[in-house]
Structure 1
């Protein structure tokens, strides 16, 4: 896989929806556009082919700016998985997850062509000294719009809070773009709700406009009321071969109906997640940020019922079976105090609270 690089906007590209980009682009494509401020804003779209909000926002952004006036700041735009976008898929079955293929400190084993391509992108952008990096995503369950960061730093907080006052700090999974770019610039992952929702596109477009006009990101603490900070503490996965359904008891794993309505809600101890036909083995594999199996810490299993063992807050719960098998069922979070985190402590507060009434 070879990276295509342009220093201009290819003619007709902005007229194409995500599903048609494959007709003009052979694969991952990096486009550099000049602006009044030289340090570029790096924008990544379509790392997952069925998450097109970022591309729709960028199309509107560049149509409004690039056709008439100079950009307020230079832009480096990465267009990712056009092959999967053709079929409206997160990734094709023969592809790795593009957002697990970025350089990381502990890189072991064989690296794919995608890893090598993204290492090339990483090296190019590091040399350009970006102002900030923004990786735009959608999710498949009901979630608020939120921003995710990989460093507890005031500049990162400000970049994230400009999009949403709901901010998630995470260190797992490995190989994600925002974590890699955090080595040399403030970086954020945007979660913009369901693909195809015009509110997500509008929100993302307004955010990109704001970022382009920012002269700098101040290293000054945010007032507490401007950001709710959460720490991702565990990932919940299920076996890729397990038959999954929702409601009833007709599957190997029957999750409750409307499971994704629990996203960003603090769940009480003993909350039911679902049922399993095999009454001897917990079907969830829950790992902490160090890769340790902590399933028993978060879930109990008795008479085929899966329940929580103490209050937890899930995010990214989805009812898309393909996503559950390819990625995960959800992530588990706890609330953090930004002041506490800046003092060098990662421990969550002892009494996390829910997110009722959050401003997205």
Structure 2
């Protein structure tokens, strides 16, 4: 289920993300030689509707078509079939950013093949480029707090999220053998997101080592820790348009709350009844909804202060993934 090349297929850089299927038949790993070793690994299009990753890597490769890369580069192009329809994933597929731990599906075996090959070759750092459907600032996510991870994140920006769940994502798997990061570049097809991802990848390609970066680089990080994943239970109906028949009505501009430190009592929506609850799963998978939310006078309110991220107004994404994550500030190590 994986194709591996040591050169760019002819015509690849002329294609948009929804045209890649014309040349690439399946997920593809491309190794390109550069002046430094080991290679920088970049993962793109794990979600087929998150186009910034392809736009940025395509621009990077175009700039180096006629000259040697400053460091070797391995590019993994993920869900090509979903990208054709600009979908996160197809109905018959698993989420391509939830397959990087042991499993029995063809997609799990493909992901393990990528892990095994890159581990054996050595990896300088791993970058997984994503978009959000809701309004968020650009930020980086890391799975370890060692200095090299924080330095990698600070090269992207000051806002850094530390998380340890879900463990099935690409950056968690690669974090076992190299500094790894997820970079969240805002909404798809926005030029400043593409420019930011491109600049970050170029910076990493030109970096000699993480030891060459002063520890003072990471002194001003705004560090947050993901404490819960908020989901709407399957049996609960919801909307953003005030439908009185729905169990929960969320505010129409709810994604404006992303990366806002919300106080106790902040409103998360209107509940039709006491059964209209929100699930909040801790990092170890425990249900903690009662810790974070309560229903008071028909409103869902925060019981403790928290900061949401990845709040989205896309009902399909909420069903496929989650409503948001809740975070708290974390002191710098």
User: Normalization by structure 1: what TM-score?
Assistant: 0.89
C-alpha displacement at 1:247, in angstroms? 4.3
Structure 2 partner of 1:102: 100
Distance, in Å, in 1 between the alignment partners of 2:224 and 2:113 is 32
| CA displacement 1:325-347 (0-9 Å, x = unmatched) | 000000000111122xxxxxxxx
Secondary structure class of the residue paired with 1:226 = coil
Given that residues 133 and 181 in structure 1 are in contact (C-alpha distance below 8 angstroms), is that contact kept between their aligned partners in structure 2? yes
Distance, in Å, in 2 between the alignment partners of 1:203 and 1:150 is 21
C-alpha displacement at 1:239, in angstroms? 2.1
Secondary structure class of the residue paired with 1:248 = coil
Given that residues 157 and 222 in structure 1 are in contact (C-alpha distance below 8 angstroms), is that contact kept between their aligned partners in structure 2? no
Whether 1:203 and 2:196 are equivalent positions in the alignment is yes
Structure 1 partner of 2:315: 321
C-alpha displacement at 1:248, in angstroms? 2.3
Secondary structure class of the residue paired with 1:210 = helix
Secondary structure class of the residue paired with 2:264 = coil
Secondary structure class of the residue paired with 1:260 = helix
C-alpha displacement at 1:249, in angstroms? 4.4
Structural RMSD (CA):
1.3
Please list every run of 5 or more consecutive structure 2 residues that lacks an aligned counterpart in the other structure.
none
Distance, in Å, in 1 between the alignment partners of 2:274 and 2:327 is 27
Q: 2:144 aligns with which of 131, 141, 151?
A: 151
Secondary structure class of the residue paired with 2:129 = strand
Q: 1:220 to 1:184 in 2, by over 3 A?
A: farther
Q: 2:233 aligns with which of 221, 231, 239?
A: 239
C-alpha displacement at 1:245, in angstroms? 1.0
Secondary structure class of the residue paired with 1:99 = coil
Structure 2 partner of 1:62: 61
1:209-288 aligned at under 5 Å gives the runs 209-218=202-211, 221-222=215-216, 225-250=219-244, 251-277=246-272, 279-288=273-282
Secondary structure class of the residue paired with 2:270 = strand
Count of residues paired in the alignment:
331
Structure 2 partner of 1:71: 69
Given that residues 8 and 32 in structure 1 are in contact (C-alpha distance below 8 angstroms), is that contact kept between their aligned partners in structure 2? yes
Whether 1:334 and 2:328 are equivalent positions in the alignment is yes
Given that residues 154 and 218 in structure 2 are in contact (C-alpha distance below 8 angstroms), is that contact kept between their aligned partners in structure 1? no
Distance, in Å, in 1 between the alignment partners of 2:237 and 2:285 is 25
Distance, in Å, in 2 between the alignment partners of 1:132 and 1:327 is 27
Distance, in Å, in 1 between the alignment partners of 2:30 and 2:265 is 50
Please list every run of 5 or more consecutive structure 1 residues that lacks an aligned counterpart in the other structure.
340-360
Runs of 4 or more above 6 Å deviation? none
Q: 2:105 aligns with which of 112, 132, 137?
A: 112
Given that residues 140 and 161 in structure 2 are in contact (C-alpha distance below 8 angstroms), is that contact kept between their aligned partners in structure 1? yes
| CA displacement 1:124-145 (0-9 Å, x = unmatched) | 0000111000000000011000
